[in-house]
């Protein structure tokens, strides 16, 4: 099956830099992009779609979320962090059943598709349920089952480690490679050193990717220093964790030395501006990390601390809050912020076949309807995307060559049924 999108603006890349083709053509064959150009291709296509007045962009990649937490959206908002976690989130999480996880994941996927996210990296329990939702929905994802250990049990007996390995064997590269399984350590403060060392070795042996929380809050960062005499980044390095490609979610409180470690080991710094602002965590040193050559990506964190999964909101925040914090309007440029949400996210996910609209890549394509008051005039594509556009401007989301969302309609998930099931979960949870 070959489809040609005609008369659309197309955000593509040339020599590694974003460039916009105006009123151009993009052709796909099954799951791949086979043509991008200003001229109509001579080749014959099965289907021609007139996309006048629309802009095609690469699908956004959400680098860090906990998708089932949508069922806890808004629960205990505006408490201090301690009370929010211990009085609201943990007790509710403790009651979650497989069905709550599935409805939460479906809610998350609905929102992500409607707002232009085509791939996401997730960390949550009940990972097999999340995996089934990913496979059924058609979206792309890297999922991790976070390991933790509070007691002094043997690492090889930790049931989370076992689950993580089972998932890896059962699901890695499944669904035409849409689904991959990452390794995941929840955080330094929720594991023993023995577990971190053991599990990091497992990850390296299996050539896996590692996904973890690191230096999200000042308290966490400083308590690690008090506990181990070193920062979380130095701790993970010394435990061998960084011998696998690692994504360190948040990286707010990393020191100069930490950033040097991250650069040396190719650790991705995963930025979650909404969550960092809402929870009062602070401002990650994006500009410094960028200058040191660290791969910086963008994500939403879970809906409980955001409270949504809208990558356009994160694009906007990442584009402006650092200017405000540094008191300099030139700190963040749209070409960099947009790369965080696309190209850099593909690097984090270990996927070289997504992240941009270029010939040969997978057809993970999002269309923006430019006929909106706030997108007129559209003087410069990247500025429009980072400063003016909304997630709701997305009019089509295609993953792996398949349209999963178009003009308000979801093709693979029953939205109304999901809302009804979410109400049931909320009633059960008593939140």
Residues in region 289-308 near a copy of itself by CB under 8 A:
303, 306-308
Please report how many Cα atoms fall inside a 13 Å half-sphere around the Cα of residue 253, on the Cβ side. 19
Shorter beta-carbon distance to a copy of itself: residue 21 or 103: 103
Smallest distance, Å, CB 107 to a copy of itself?
A: 5
CB 372 within 8 A of CB 111: no
Query: Does residue 335 sit in helix, strand or coil?
Result: helix
User: Burial of 376 by CB count in 10 Å (0-12 exposed, 13-18 middle, 19+ buried)?
Assistant: exposed
Query: Does residue 156 sit in helix, strand or coil?
Result: helix
Structure tokens at 425: 């979960």
Smallest distance, Å, CB 374 to a copy of itself?
A: 4
Shorter beta-carbon distance to a copy of itself: residue 23 or 371: 371
Between 98-114 and 127-137, two packed helices, what is the crossing angle to 10 degrees?
40
Window 32 to 71, contacts with a copy of itself (CB under 8 A): 70-71
341/336 Cα distance (integer angstroms): 9
Shorter beta-carbon distance to a copy of itself: residue 110 or 143: 110
190/168 Cα distance (integer angstroms): 22
Site string for a copy of itself, 65-84 (x = CB under 8 A): -----xx-xxx-xxxxx--x
Window contacting a copy of itself (CB under 8 A); options: 143-151, 158-166, 230-238, 318-326 = 318-326
Site membership for a copy of itself, residue 428 (CB under 8 A) = no
Smallest distance, Å, CB 253 to a copy of itself?
A: 10
Q: Which of 174, 111, 100, 176 is nearest to 143 (CA)?
A: 174
Smallest distance, Å, CB 95 to a copy of itself?
A: 15
Residue with tokens 């030139």: 330
Phi and psi of 121, rounded to 5°?
Answer: -110, 125
Window 217 to 246, contacts with a copy of itself (CB under 8 A): 218
Which residue of 390, 402, 406, 412 would you call a contact of a copy of itself, by CB under 8 A? 390
Window contacting a copy of itself (CB under 8 A); options: 129-137, 230-238, 263-271, 385-393 = 385-393
Shorter beta-carbon distance to a copy of itself: residue 79 or 255: 79
234/261 Cα distance (integer angstroms): 7
Window contacting a copy of itself (CB under 8 A); options: 159-167, 168-176, 201-209, 413-421 = 413-421
Which residue of 162, 169, 371, 411 would you call a contact of a copy of itself, by CB under 8 A? 371
Which residue of 209, 233, 321, 340 would you call a contact of a copy of itself, by CB under 8 A? 321
Shorter beta-carbon distance to a copy of itself: residue 45 or 84: 84
Site string for a copy of itself, 104-133 (x = CB under 8 A): ---xx-xx--xx------------------
Residue with tokens 């908002």: 77
Window 145 to 204, contacts with a copy of itself (CB under 8 A): none
CB 265 within 8 A of CB 246: yes
Where helices occur in 211-309 by DSSP H, the ranges are 218-228, 232-238, 256-265, 273-278, 286-291
Return the ∠ at Cα 188 (arms to 186 and 192), rounded to 5°. 95
Q: How many residues touch a copy of itself (CB under 8 A)?
A: 75
Site membership for a copy of itself, residue 17 (CB under 8 A) = no
Shorter beta-carbon distance to a copy of itself: residue 234 or 426: 426
Smallest distance, Å, CB 76 to a copy of itself?
A: 9
Window 257 to 296, contacts with a copy of itself (CB under 8 A): 274, 276-283
Write the CB contacts of 25 (distance below 8 Å, at least 6 apart in sequence). 4, 5, 6, 7, 8, 10, 35, 36, 37, 38, 39, 40, 41
Site string for a copy of itself, 326-355 (x = CB under 8 A): xxxxxx-xx---------------------
235/274 Cα distance (integer angstroms): 27
């Amino acid at each position: 099956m070959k489809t040609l999108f005609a008369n659309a603006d197309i955000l593509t890349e040339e020599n590694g830099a974003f460039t916009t083709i105006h009123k151009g053509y993009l052709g796909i064959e099954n799951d791949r992009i086979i043509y991008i150009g200003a001229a109509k291709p001579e080749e014959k296509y099965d289907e021609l779609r007139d996309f006048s007045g629309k802009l095609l962009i690469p699908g956004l990649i959400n680098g860090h979320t906990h998708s089932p937490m949508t069922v806890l959206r808004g629960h205990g908002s505006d408490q201090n962090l301690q009370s929010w976690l211990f009085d609201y989130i943990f007790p509710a999480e403790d009651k979650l059943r497989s069905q709550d996880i599935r409805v939460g994941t479906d809610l998350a996927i609905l929102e992500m598709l409607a707002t232009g996210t085509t791939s996401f990296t997730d960390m949550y329990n009940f990972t097999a349920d999340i995996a089934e939702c990913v496979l059924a929905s058609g979206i792309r994802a890297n999922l991790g089952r976070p390991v933790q250990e509070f007691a002094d049990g043997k690492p090889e007996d930790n049931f989370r480690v076992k689950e993580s390995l089972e998932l890896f064997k059962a699901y890695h590269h499944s669904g035409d490679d849409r689904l991959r399984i990452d390794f995941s350590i929840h955080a330094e403060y929720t594991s023993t050193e023995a577990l971190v060392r053991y599990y990091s070795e497992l990850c390296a042996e299996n050539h896996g990717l590692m996904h973890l929380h690191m230096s999200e809050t000042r308290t966490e960062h400083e308590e690690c220093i008090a506990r181990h005499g070193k920062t979380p980044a130095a701790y993970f390095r010394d435990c061998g964790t960084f011998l696998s490609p690692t994504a360190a979610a948040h990286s707010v409180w990393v020191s100069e030395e930490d950033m040097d470690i991250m650069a040396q080991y190719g650790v991705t710094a995963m930025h979650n501006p909404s969550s960092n602002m809402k929870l009062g965590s602070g401002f990650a040193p994006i500009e410094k990390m960028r200058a040191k050559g660290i791969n910086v990506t963008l994500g939403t964190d879970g809906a409980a601390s955001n409270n949504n999964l809208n990558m356009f909101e994160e694009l906007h925040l990442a584009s402006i809050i650092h200017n405000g914090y540094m008191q300099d309007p030139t700190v963040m440029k749209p070409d960099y912020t947009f790369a965080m949400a696309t190209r850099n996210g593909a690097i984090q996910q270990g996927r070289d076949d997504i992240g941009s609209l270029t010939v040969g890549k997978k057809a993970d394509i999002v269309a923006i309807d430019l006929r909106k008051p706030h997108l007129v005039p559209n003087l410069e594509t990247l500025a429009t995307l980072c400063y003016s556009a909304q997630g709701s401007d997305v009019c089509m989301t295609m993953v792996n060559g398949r349209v999963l969302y178009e003009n308000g309609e979801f093709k693979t998930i029953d939205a109304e049924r999901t809302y009804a099931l979410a109400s049931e979960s909320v009633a059960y949870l008593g939140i």
